[in-house]
Amino acid sequence: MVARTIPVDPFDLVIFGATGDLARRKILPSLYRRRQAGQMPEGARVIGAARSKMTRTAYQKSIREALEEFVPEAERTAATVKAFVDCIDYVAVDVTGDGGWQELCGKLRPDVVRAFYLSVAPSLFGTIAEKLAESGLATPDSRIVVEKPLGHDLASAQELNAKLTRHFDEQQIYRIDHYLGKETVQNLMALRFANALFEPLWNAQHIDHVQITVAESIGVEGRGGYYDKSGAMRDMVQNHIMQLLCLTAMEPPARFEPDSVRDEKLKVIRALDPIHVDDTVRGQYRGNGSAGYLEHVENPDSKTESYVALKVQISNWRWAGTPFYLRTGKKLRSRLSEIAVIFKEVPHSIFPEVSNRKGNALIIRLQPDEGITLRMTIKDPGPGGMRLREVPLDMTFADALGDEFDIPDAYERLVMDVIRGNQTLFMRGDEVEAAWAWTDALLAEWQDSPDRPQSYDPGGSGPDDALALLHRDGRRWRDIPG
Which parts of this chain interact with ligand NAD (CB under 6 A)? 17-23, 50-52, 93-96, 119-122, 147-149
**What is the DSSP code (8-state) at residue 96?**
T
Report the nearest approach of ligand NAD to the CB of residue 174 (Å).
14
Burial of 464: CB neighbours in 10 Å, binned 0-12, 13-18, 19+: middle
Report the nearest approach of ligand NAD to the CB of residue 67 (Å).
16
Give the residue at shortest CB distance from ligand NAD: 20
CB-wise, 185 or 480, nearer to ligand NAD? 185
Helix (H, G, I), strand (E, B) or coil at 240: helix
**What is each CA distance from 70 to 63, 82, 177, in whole angstroms?**
10, 16, 21
CB-wise, 131 or 209, nearer to ligand NAD? 131
Report the nearest approach of ligand NAD to the CB of residue 414 (Å).
12
Residues 341 and 478: their CA atoms lie apart, in Å, by 11
CB-wise, 10 or 122, nearer to ligand NAD? 122
Report the nearest approach of ligand NAD to the CB of residue 132 (Å).
13
Report the nearest approach of ligand NAD to the CB of residue 410 (Å).
11
The answer to whether 373 and 363 are in contact (CB under 8 A) is yes
H helical segments located in 220-362? 224-228, 231-232, 242-249, 258-271, 293-296
CB-wise, 22 or 407, nearer to ligand NAD? 22
19 among the known binding-site residues? Answer: yes
Tell me, yes or no, if 240 is annotated catalytic: yes
CB-wise, 118 or 249, nearer to ligand NAD? 118
259 among the known binding-site residues? Answer: no
Burial of 79: CB neighbours in 10 Å, binned 0-12, 13-18, 19+: exposed
394 among the known binding-site residues? Answer: no
Question: Which residues have C-beta within 8 Å of that of residue 111, sequence separation ≥ 6?
Answer: none
CB-wise, 157 or 207, nearer to ligand NAD? 157
Helix axes 125-134, 154-165, angle to 10 degrees: 10
Question: Which residues have C-beta within 8 Å of that of residue 449, sequence separation ≥ 6?
Answer: 277
C-alpha torsion angle, residues 129, 60, 182, 481 (rounded to 10): -120
216 among the known binding-site residues? Answer: yes
The answer to whether 152 and 230 are in contact (CB under 8 A) is yes
Report the nearest approach of ligand NAD to the CB of residue 236 (Å).
12
* Long-range contacts, stretch 99-106, CB < 8 angstroms, 24+ apart: 100/49, 101/131, 101/134, 101/135, 102/135, 104/14, 104/47, 104/49, 104/135, 104/137, 105/135, 105/136, 105/137
22 among the known binding-site residues? Answer: yes
Q: Point out the catalytic residue in the list 240, 276, 296, 348.
A: 240
Q: Which residues are annotated binding-site positions?
A: 17-24, 51, 94-95, 148, 178, 182, 216, 235, 330
Residues annotated as binding site for NADP(+)? 17-24, 51, 94-95, 148
Binding site feature residues for substrate? 178, 182, 216, 235, 330
Residues tagged active-site: 240
